[in-house]
């Protein structure tokens, strides 16, 4: 797969953002780890597609295809090394014996199998109700740019992901990630980036070592 992102940090005024920063309106990031060789995963796809339809912009659902079930059939064409590494990091942090599918993770804080709708909804609502002192805002702008502003307690990992919405590219998976790029660490303040995506893109701002997700947003929704 050829490189699909061209990213450039544009000059921006770095400001101190403390208690006076605006409250961010960010969706709950739901990450699904799955494989097309996983027999139970289609149930998770149906569950998350229904939730996405009902909740709209309240959630950002991304599917990470893993390759460790490839020995059961044809290799998953959407599997990414980043997906397995990301899930392994979550499994270690949550104290799980091993990664599994279909696993869903909510704002980097909670995890559960993604087949039962009531459980998935309970985790989403729990994250929506959680009070956090951190205020991070992602603003998509016209001309292929986005702004990141706010304050975090320690440098956060910033990641740009491209995902496929259409079934021709993603099959039954819900918004499968097809490329992921680290933008480095962000210590707060205000900065503007220029970016280029062939499909839909989202930004994830997360505590180090795959910790709490401070903010996540689909960039293409607001861009003019």
Residue 49 CA to residue 170 CA, distance in Å, equals 13
The reply to whether omega before 131 is within 30° of 0 (cis) is no
Q: Are strands 59-65 and 28-34 parallel, antiparallel or unpaired?
A: parallel
Q: Give the mean pLDDT per block of 10 residues along the chain (224 residues).
A: 36 29 68 96 96 95 96 92 95 95 97 96 93 82 87 92 77 92 91 84 94 92 46
Residue 103 CA to residue 112 CA, distance in Å, equals 6
pLDDT at 142: 81
pLDDT at 169: 63
Residue 224 CA to residue 220 CA, distance in Å, equals 8
pLDDT at 131: 64
pTM for this entry = 0.86
pLDDT at 75: 92
User: H or E segment at 49?
Assistant: helix 41-55
């Amino acid at each position: 797969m050829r490189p699909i992102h061209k990213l450039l940090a544009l000059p921006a005024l770095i400001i101190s953002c403390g208690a006076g920063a605006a409250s961010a309106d960010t969706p709950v990031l739901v990450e699904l780890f799955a494989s097309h060789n996983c027999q139970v995963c289609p149930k998770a796809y149906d569950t998350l597609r229904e939730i996405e339809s009902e909740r709209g912009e309240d959630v950002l659902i991304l599917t990470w295809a893993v390759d460790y079930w490839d020995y059961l059939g044809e290799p998953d064409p959407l599997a990414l090394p980043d997906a397995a590494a990301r899930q392994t990091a979550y499994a270690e942090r949550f104290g799980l014996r091993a990664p599994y599918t279909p696993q869903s993770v909510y704002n980097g804080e909670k995890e559960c199998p993604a087949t039962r709708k009531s459980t998935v909804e309970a985790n989403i609502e729990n994250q929506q109700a959680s009070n956090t002192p951190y205020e991070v805002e992602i603003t998509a702008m016209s001309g292929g740019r986005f702004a990141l502003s706010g304050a975090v307690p320690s440098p956060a990992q910033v990641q740009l992901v491209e995902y496929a919405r259409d079934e021709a590219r993603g099959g039954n998976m819900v918004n499968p990630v097809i490329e992921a790029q680290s933008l480095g660490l962000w210590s707060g303040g205000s900065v503007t980036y220029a970016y280029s995506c062939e499909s839909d893109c989202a930004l994830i701002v997360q505590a180090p070592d795959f910790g709490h997700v401070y903010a996540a947003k689909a960039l293409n929704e607001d861009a003019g």
